[in-house]
Structures are given as structure tokens and as C-alpha cells.
Structure 1
């Protein structure tokens, strides 16, 4: 699976919601998503944003939701990427780890700059032209300060905070961050006092880091080759075919970009959406035909063909044979082996 095509959604999130008195199924229903999503380890960008928007709608006020989840989420529910930061040597080490391991949990991207007496962390987005919901933006930045407070055991405050969206009760946010909060700005960023970065973490656990660090670094290394837009398009298309949504509009929306942008990027890779759609259908057809329990008509439906004759014509172009003959030969070979 390509990196950044899907987002790891930690199971601890749902436990954290229950702890706050919020029923996870209500959030999923409000997001218009199937309840089975709560058992899925991966979600698409569109689903990810919908979950955060649903949580925001249930809470009512964005600022209240940010503070409630950030302060109420117990350490026991932290995913490994956050645990590696929580058990870091000091605040600077923790932030460095958060920014590095954030690459394993897109679409958020964090960039840190240190200048004079300030340390600024700016939030951006990976592989999506659509900015995340205000609730997600607020929680992402608030948790960076919360991490420092929990790790050092000190009531740290920020130097300044800027949000590009309206965030509800700004006064309560200013009380939480301990500084002025600007809304409607040009970016989303948290500025810390540089002196706080050298504060040691009381939660430092060298033994646990020896276990977590190599595993997380290896995961990042594995992701490096998988950033291709082609792989993202193919994965989303595979998921959409059985529902009859095998069109560029659906895929572009999942990726958070316009149809024209997606077409341009695919053209730059020397392909097109129609070519990738055909490849996906061919790959899936071979997989499904290898399952003798599936009828030919079912295979046609599963790869997005309402008309079985259209499937037959396409399959002849791909394989130079009919689906029935291909299945006979394929299953025969495997039965001999």
C-alpha cells in the first residue's frame, strides 16, 4: 500500500472518546460513515476529515472540543508515534520526534524553525489541497504544547498562536495556551519559548525508546518509495469499484484535489486516469477469477461493469481470452501445483 494513500487511525482514539463521555458510534454516524470503520486501522483522507468534523459538530464549540480532547486524552491511549515523543529525553527531543514520526500519520505536516528566543512549529498538509477541519488544526497544535506540559510536569505556556480559521471561544483558547491567540491569519502555527525546549522530561524512558525508535524509523524507511500518485489513485479506485464510483471525480475528492490537478499530475507521470482504471480492473479481474466461488457476473460487478458483455470485451483485450477460459487454465495450473 502506498504511503500517504491512507491514514492510520489509532484504536485509542475511540477509547479516548468514550472516556470523555462521547459515544464513538455517534461520531461515525454523524460523519455519514459505516460503523465498521471503527474496526478499520486505516481510513482515507476524506473519511479522516469527516470524523473530525463530526466530533466538532457534536461538541458544538471548536475551542471547547480542542481543550476537552487535548487535556482529557490519557497517555495509555497514545499510539507508538506519540509514545516515542512522550518518553523523549527533553522537550526539544520530543518535538523533533513528533515532527519526524508525523510522516507516518498524514495528512498533517509539521515544520519547525528556531530563531532567537523562539521556536515556531507550522502546520501544513501532505498530498491534499484541502486544509483540514479547524478542530483537527487546533488539536494538532494544542497537543504539541500539551506534550511539553505532560513531559516536563510544568505548566508551560506558548509565546503566540495563529490560526487561519475561526476557532470558537478564543478567550478559552488563550487561557489554555497562556498567550494571545490570533484567528483568521495566513497560517496555522504555534510559537514556543525556546528556553522551554531544554527542559528534561520526567517521562523519559530510554529502555522503551530503544524498542520504539528502530521500529518507527524502519516504518518511515519503508514508506519512502511509496509516494507515487499512481499508487494512490489505484488504491482508491480499487476501493470504489464495487460501489460503482469508479470515476475521476471520486478519486480526486478522496485525494483532496480538483479533477484538473489530478489529470495534470497523472499526465506528468506518463499515464491517465482511464489507463489506471483499466489496470486496476485487470488486476482485480485476475484476483476474483482465481476464486471459484465467484460467478463471472459477480466478478464483472465487483470491478465496476454493469454489463457482463462489456466485461467480456475488456477481458479479451487484457488477456487475449475469455474470462471462462482464463479461469479454467488458471485454476487447472494451480490444481496441478
Structure 2
């Protein structure tokens, strides 16, 4: 399981608007705050699935929603991970880049196999125990073909497409892919003509790739080093105020059961309780360093029901009261920032 932090590209929301669907309607349908529409917003796997399901509910037929979004997404709106594939040397290079950079966009994973005259791309879901919205599965495979069409400038068709779930208007999908669609398969697969992979991309841009590739490769390597404990800590820090601090809620956001999460944390020699304490401690220091927040507000932001509980916890962490810690901390900042000021005793 990779880091459970997914950033929706601005192009996704722009694509919805071109289809006449307001992003705010999707957020409301998914019962998520409108802050997910912000450019820097990140979501969890559970929220990611909710957004796709909301889009599916609003657009109606799954197949129509797949085709509309795959074709409405403008190349100028591609995020860097996809931009690097669109400007690849050829279709094969683009697909292998996409498979590598998909690691930056959990929970999807692509497995590419070339054999004989066929190239099969199987879509997998890493570590998620939640059902994946069919429209997300369908759009992901449709985009793989769309990428080839746009890059080569040719009306490429697939050899076959297999879906494990119902996809709505199958006839519409068969027209789009130019091949038979099988529903109820044991996996989600797109099979291409292997000869198409050698087709050069008209959008090939060596200079841009020389800039993007090292940055993206470095990000992939860093992503792979993140642990489950780091993911849990990240979720806890942004959930403290909301009160969703039990292991079941966090496990749900990570797309796994609480037992699986407990086992994964044990493997990393830590516990949920320890990570919650650590998250609160780190956020407490951060909030107390802000003089605009009073102690009662800090206790609330950390998810404590009363101020006394926060005081007891903070004394255990720092051996001091929050007020004294703040005075000493802010005082040292002032002296470090303005060393020439006289100090009055």
C-alpha cells in the first residue's frame, strides 16, 4: 500500500465543468467539504472513491460517463505525471512511464505484459479492501487508449477489454474501444495490438522529459519509502479537531479493516495509540507556537473534550504546563530573532 494521499489534478474538475457538471455538486453528492476542490487539496482513498461514485451518480450511465470524461480531459490540463507520458517517445514508452508514475497516485497500479501480437495491461488496486467504483475502473482503462490516440494522432483500437463489474451501456463502450467488451471477468484488462506500441508520439518533447523525468523519478522513490505509520500520522493530524480518532475511522480512510491496520502497525513496531499521542504532541507544539490561539482553543483543536485533559497530557510530554512552555518558547524565539534588543529582568 502506497501513501494514502491523492491529489486530484485541476484538469479533473475542469473536465467535469466542460461536461456541465459543477465540481461543487460532486463534492456535495460525495458528502465531502468543498475544500477538496482547492488546488492543493489531497484526499484519502475512501474520499477518492466517493468522488468518483458521486460523478457516476450525477452523470447517469457508467459507460457514457467513462467516454465523456476520457475525451473531455484536455492535454493542457494534464498533471506532470501524465504530461511526462504524453510527451514520451512512443506509445510503449508512454505506457511504461504511466505504470511507473501511477505509484504517485494510489491506489491504482498497472501491470503491462507483452506477448506475441498482444500487449495486456491489467489494472490492480493496492491494499484497498473497499469496492472500487466501476466508473473509475472504466475511465482508467479508457484513458490508456485515449493516451495512445492523442499521442500518435491515430484512431487506435483495442483488441479486447475485460471488466469485472457492470459498466452500463456496453455497446457505447464497444464503439469507443473498437473491440468486444467482456463483463464479469476475473480482472480488469485492456489488450492492445502490440504493433501499436512502436508508433511514435507526435507530441514527443525530449527537452521537457529531461526536466520532468528526474523530478518524477525522485518522487516515486520517496513515495515508496513512506510507511503505514506515516500515513496514519498524517490522517490523524488533519482529523484531530473532527474527533474521528478511533482506529476504525482511520482504517476506513486507508481502505482496510482495523485488524489489517493493527497488524501493519505491529509489523512496523508501533501502535495506533502511540501514533495518536505523537500526532497530538507534535500538533500541540505547533499550535502553542501561535500566540493567536489561547490554551482552550489548542485543547479543542487537538480533540480533547476538556482543557484539563490536555494539561495532564502536555505535562506528561514536556514536564511543564502549556502556558509555561509557550512563554519559554516564544521568549526564546524573540531573543533569537532580535539579538540586539535589551533584555529586561
Task: Confirm or deny a common fold (TM above 0.5).
Answer: yes
TM-score of the two chains, using structure 1 as the length reference: 0.96
1:134 maps to what in 2? Answer: 134
Residue 256 to residue 104, structure 1, CA distance change in 2 (3 Å): same
Query: Are residues 1:27 and 2:26 paired?
Result: yes
SS in 2 for 1:242: coil
Equivalent residue for 2:271? 272
1:222, distance to aligned residue in structure 2 (A): 3.0
CA distance in structure 1 between the aligned counterparts of 2:18 and 2:89, rounded to whole angstroms: 29
Instruction: Give the alignment's TM-score, normalised by structure 2.
Output: 0.93
1:54 aligns with 2:58: no
Question: Post-superposition shift, 1:267?
Answer: 1.2
Aligned Cα RMSD in Å?
A: 1.5
Report what 2:17 is aligned to. Answer: 18
Write the distance in 1 (CA, Å) between the matches of 2:262 and 2:58. 37
Task: Give how far 1:126 is off.
Answer: 2.6
Alignment deviations for residues 172-205 of structure 1 (CA, whole Å, 9 cap, x no partner):
1111111111112211111111111111112222
Change (3 A) 1:163 1:3: closer
> 1:310 maps to which residue?
309
1:242-292 Cα distance to aligned partner (Å, 9 max, x none): 011111111001000011111111111111111111111111111111111
Mapped contact 1:4–1:127 kept (Cα < 8 A): no
With 151-160 and 232-241 compared, the bigger mean Cα shift is at 151-160
Structure 2: distance between partners of 1:323 and 1:205: 56
CA distance in 1, matches of 2:263, 2:22: 42
CA distance in 2, matches of 1:81, 1:289: 38
| CA distance in 1: counterparts of 2:128 and 2:325, whole angstroms | 40
Residue 22 of structure 1 aligns to a residue whose secondary structure is coil
Where do 1:274-289 residues align within 5 Å? 274-289=273-288
How far 1:131 sits from its partner (Å)? 4.1
Find the aligned partners of 2:224 and 2:263 in 1 and give their Cα distance. 23
Q: What SS class does the counterpart of residue 135 from structure 2 fall into? A: helix
The answer on whether the counterparts of 1:125 and 1:131 sit within 8 Å (CA) in structure 2 is no
Distance, in Å, in 2 between the alignment partners of 1:161 and 1:322 is 63
**Within 1, Cα distance between the matches of 2:208 and 2:152?**
18
SS in 1 for 2:121: strand
Tell me the residue number matched to 2:297. 298
Corresponding residue for residue 75 of structure 1: 75
Structure 1 distance, partners of 2:79, 2:39, is 15
Q: Would you say 1:251 and 2:260 are equivalent positions?
A: no
* Deviating more after overlay: 26-35 vs 54-63: 26-35
Deviation at 1:33, TM superposition (A): 1.3
Local SS of the residue matching 1:166: coil
Could you say which residue in structure 2 is the equivalent of 1:182? 182
Inter-partner Cα distance in structure 2 for 1:265 and 1:38 = 31
The equivalent of 1:121 in structure 2 is: 121
SS of the aligned residue for 2:56 comes to helix
- Unaligned regions of 5+ residues in structure 1, if any? none
Verify the 8 A CA contact 2:91 2:201 in the aligned structure 1: yes
- The residue aligned with 2:331 is 332
Question: In 2, Cα distance between the equivalents of 1:101 and 1:126?
Answer: 14
1:151-190 matched pairs, under 5 angstroms: 151-190=151-190
Q: Distance in 1 between matches of 2:143 and 2:136?
A: 11
Name the structure 1 match of 2:224: 224
State the secondary structure of the residue aligned to 2:224. helix
Name stretches of at least 5 consecutive residues in structure 2 with no aligned partner.
337-345
Alpha carbons 2:87, 2:201 under 8 Å: kept: yes
Q: Distance in 2 between matches of 1:233 and 1:89?
A: 39
Is 1:237 the counterpart of 2:236? The answer is yes
Q: Quick check: 1:5–1:235 contact (8 Å CA) kept in 2?
A: no
Deviation at 1:3, TM superposition (A): 6.1
**In structure 1, C-alpha distance between the alignment counterparts of 2:55 and 2:224, rounded to whole Å:** 32
